[in-house]
Homo-oligomer: A and B are copies of this chain.
Amino acid sequence: MNAFSPSRRGLIGAALTGAAATALPVATKARGPAPADREPFYGPHQSGILTPAQLHTYFAAFDLEIESRADVAALLKTWTLAAAQLSEGRPVAGETDGSRIDAHDVLELSPSRLTITFGFGATLFEKEGKDRYGLLPRRPAAFVDLPKFKGDQLILERTGGDLTVQTCADDPQVAFHALRTLARLADGKARLRWSQTGFVGGFKPGETPRNLMGFKDGTMNPDVRDPALMREHVWAGAEGGDWMNGGSYLVARPARIALEHWDRMKEAFQEQTMGRRKLSGAPIGKARETDKLDLDAVDKDGNPVVAENSHVRLAAPESNNGAQMLRRSYSYNNGLSFTVERWPPWRQGMEYDAGLLFVCYQRDPRRAFIPMFEKMSRFDMMNQFVTHIGGGLYACPRGARPGEYVGQNLLEG
């Protein structure tokens, strides 16, 4: 034993005594990152929605452990202040029982375009039939419960959550650090329910990234530089209350992809399934990725060129009363898992536990994701390879202005 070392038990016991986090301001070192690496946190909309996708994400859902609306408000206030600091690349000041809030594992790293996007689950408004925080009257009509879709294999422990936090950054350590810091600040108030990391390959600006199926993903996204289009399809208006005016409804669902089976399909079959060419990304029957999808085209026998049950046809606005949503998905890879597949003809056994963290934003899920996926879940040929295993629908409130906190005018007034 040297002068410092007390017993392990003694030290640990001392450090864990007292659960309340007291945010004591301590000196922190500004990291002074290049402005190009920063994404603004405050604004009319939350960051991380229209932001060009960063390379890495950490998506987490929390369950609240507190009983009063004031406590929820206090947590969101703490989170908002911390998120703004983190977005600027600054460590979060403060200690809990003498140990720093910030793990300091990203001390030399730039903000790496970090964004932090908050969402509210339906259970914030009503859980087991109970209006927990007196918020039920403020639940917007558009914020419905997701139906059970055909083929869903939702794992309860990876589904739902009262609050969600999605961190996105070009550096995986920065994305995890931000989430870990917020989780620490929520100690005793909210506990992690499920999480999923994600990544996208370093495709160049203007290139549509390929997902793990090898196809370009996102070609049909509405143009985020068109404010009118965003207002029409992505941002909620005044209809759901001021707190959602400028917010958006998020569907985030991890979808496992049976990569081993997909890889064994002939390329022509993969292309018919997708409705696009693999290498070029062009719609079947067209030459270039950006060529307009022609759903009426038929071959010499009168059969549709783009298959009736192809992914691209079923997802197209033309097939969905003009509905669009903004997809912002990430690939994921959780290593290996032994899984029995749902389709009997496949061999069973080892599979990659990999796929797509499907993420989309929309003004009204009743006109976008829900009817679209209700149809796709029945007909899409891709369903043979893709299984939704969790997640849910969340309301991402409008952005906070400096001095406000996220969700303030839902929780107050």
The chain A residues found within 8 Å of chain B, CB to CB, are 2-5, 8-9, 11-13, 15-16, 29, 58, 96-100, 103-110, 112, 170-174, 176, 180, 184, 191-192, 194-197, 199-204, 207, 210-214, 259, 261-269, 272, 278-279, 299, 301, 303-304, 307-309, 331, 333-336, 343, 345-347, 350, 352, 354, 381, 384
A214 interface neighbour in B104, B195, B343, Cβ under 8 Å: B104
Asked if B343 and A12 make an inter-chain contact with CB atoms under 8 angstroms apart, the answer reads yes
Report whether A309 and B279 are in contact in the complex, using a CB–CB cutoff of 8 Å: no
Asked if residues A172 and B107 are in contact (CB atoms below 8 Å), the reply is no
Given contacts A99-B267, A207-B108, contact A272 B5 (CB under 8 A): yes
Query: Which residues of chain B have C-beta atoms less than 8 A from A108's C-beta?
Result: 203-204, 207, 210
Return A214 CB to nearest CB of chain B, in Å: 4
List 11 A–B pairs whose Cβ atoms lie within 8 Å, in order of A's numbering: A2-B308, A9-B345, A15-B266, A99-B264, A108-B204, A108-B210, A110-B202, A171-B201, A172-B172, A172-B201, A174-B201
| Whole-angstrom CA separation of A262 from B103 in the bound complex | 9
Contacts of A195 in B (CB 8 A): 335-336
From the candidates B96, B303, B304, B345, name the one contacting A264 in the complex (CB within 8 A).
B96
Question: Are A8 and B264 in touch, CB under 8 angstroms?
Answer: no
Bound complex: CA A333 to CA B5 (Å): 30
- Candidates B110, B264, B299, B352; contact of A97 at CB < 8 Å: B264
Q: How far is the CA of A301 from the CA of B2 in the complex (A)?
A: 9
Q: Are A214 and B309 in contact, CB atoms less than 8 angstroms apart?
A: no
- Report the separation of the CA atoms of residues A58 and B334 in the bound assembly, to the nearest whole angstrom: 11
- Given the complex of chains A and B, what is the CA–CA distance between A180 and B2 in angstroms? 50
Question: CA–CA, A171 to B201, complex, Å?
Answer: 6
CB of A105 within 8 A of CB of B194, answer: no
A346 to B15, CA, bound (A): 10
Q: Are B184 and A345 in contact (CB under 8 A)?
A: no
Minimum CB–CB distance from A294 to chain B (whole Å) comes to 14
Contacting residue for A381 out of B5, B180, B261, B354, CB 8 A: B5
Known: A108-B204, A195-B335. A263 touches B213 (CB 8 A): no
A333 touches B105 (CB 8 A): no
B307 contacts A12, C-beta separation under 8 Å: no
Q: B346 touching A212 by the CB < 8 A rule?
A: no
B contact residues around A268 at 8 Å (CB): 4
Cα of A343 to Cα of B299 in the assembled complex, Å:
69
A12-B265, A15-B266, A107-B214 are known contacts; what are 19 more A-B pairs with Cβ within 8 Å? A8-B384, A12-B345, A12-B346, A58-B333, A99-B265, A100-B267, A103-B214, A103-B259, A104-B210, A104-B214, A104-B279, A106-B201, A109-B203, A173-B201, A173-B212, A191-B350, A194-B335, A195-B336, A197-B333
